[in-house]
Amino acid sequence: MKEKKAIKFETKVIHEGYDAHKHSGSLVPPIFQTSTFIFESAQQGEKRFAGEEEGFIYSRLGNPTVKMLEERIAALENGEAALAFGSGMAAVSAVLIAMTNTGDHILCSQGIYGCTFGLLEMMNEKYKITHDFSAMETREQLLEAIRTETVCIYVETPINPTMKLVDLQMVAEVAKEKGIPVVVDNTFCSPYLQNPISLGCDVVIHSATKYICGHGDVIAGLVVGTKEFISKVAMTTQKDIGGVISPFDAWLLLRGLKSLAVRMDRHCENTEKLANYLLEHPKVEKVYYPGDFRNSEYEIAQKQMRKPGGMISFTLKGNKETAQSFMNNLEMIKIAVSLGDAETLIQHPATMTHAVVPRESRKNMGIDDSLLRLSVGLESWEDMRDDLEQALEKI
């Protein structure tokens, strides 16, 4: 049999998971906007529900448009299979619930998204599933933090919003020695910049709302892993809790993915220029950017990220009022809490995305009241710079 030729990322984002000849030659994948599917016979329905025959039953359990998206993202992340969800948090909760039982322990990177923090707190309060945070800077530090009841290591890298990096290869090696799966929230990078499964990790999560969509018009989540794990999640937490994606939203993500590589190149190019500008500004206290060679984690970025990404966090010389005044003086740049859109967005983590995190925990994560997070868009970088400059002049 002739071996299938490997295709590159830029081609996969456009073609993977879709055969136009199977769908009347339509260049664009069709939207199967249906809640249910017809069986040819009662016996066929019985076989499908028993798992003896492949085929669609009901869109909460699977849909052709959604399946195209799942096959494409699995290929982009070098995983065996994938599942699509109605939000990033639906994806996070489905994975963590599927992996844990009462009394288990989750070890997390030093910082995580505010709603993920809230979910972990709820799991602790309701089901006695505990969690701890670790900087994960060395093997020894990681080994010290792992307990006998640890069933999952959950990592964000770059961490939201401090942009701290975790060496995924090191974490994966330690985890495998202990037989513990590693889950990585890869939202900040997208599969174009970082592939945790290729570095030895087990499960990848995306808030597809962000770079994968790229246009600010979808709420969605994605999970990639082994066929065995994805099947387990599909038949338990996804099926029974029901946080599924709609066919139309899956179609929008397929559309957004086509331009992912091109968009990410522009995001990264603009971000590098703005980071260099902010690094030299006298009113900026500190800049957190993986592409800064003065950053102590710069070598990690070079090892596991293709480019430093489209996100910058920075602190101003001042306090919360200084930061808010600066934000209010911006004209083109929008105050909003998402990221990865064509528009440049800025937010104040301490009072917005991470407001649910208690002040002391925020402090431990490195989130203070003067920290701002900038999602660099696709506009002219000079226009972004000029907007930042005029707002900085006013504080």
Q: What is the largest CA-CA distance in the chain?
A: 74
* Residue 181 structure tokens: 């799966």
* 236 CB neighbour count, 10 Å cutoff: 13
Bridge partner residues of 266 (DSSP): none
Catalytic residue among 48, 72, 164, 210: 210
Total number of residues shown for the chain:
395
- CB-neighbour burial class of residue 303 (10 A; exposed 0-12, middle 13-18, buried 19+): middle
Asked if 286 is an active-site residue, the reply is no
27-36 burial code (b ≥16 CB/10 A, e <16): eebebbeeee
- Tell me the C-alpha distance between 71 and 17, whole Å: 5
Catalytic residue among 104, 167, 185, 249: 185
Catalytic residue among 47, 60, 232, 385: 60
Asked if 362 is an active-site residue, the reply is no
Catalytic residue among 18, 113, 154, 211: 113
Asked if 185 is an active-site residue, the reply is yes
CB-based contact 82:230 (threshold 8 Å):
yes
* Residue 344 structure tokens: 């440049």
Bridge partner residues of 346 (DSSP): 335, 374
Asked if 113 is an active-site residue, the reply is yes
Q: Where are the beta strands (DSSP E) in 261-318?
A: 284-288, 311-316
CB-based contact 142:171 (threshold 8 Å):
yes
SS3 at position 316 = strand
> Annotated active-site positions, please?
60, 113, 185, 210
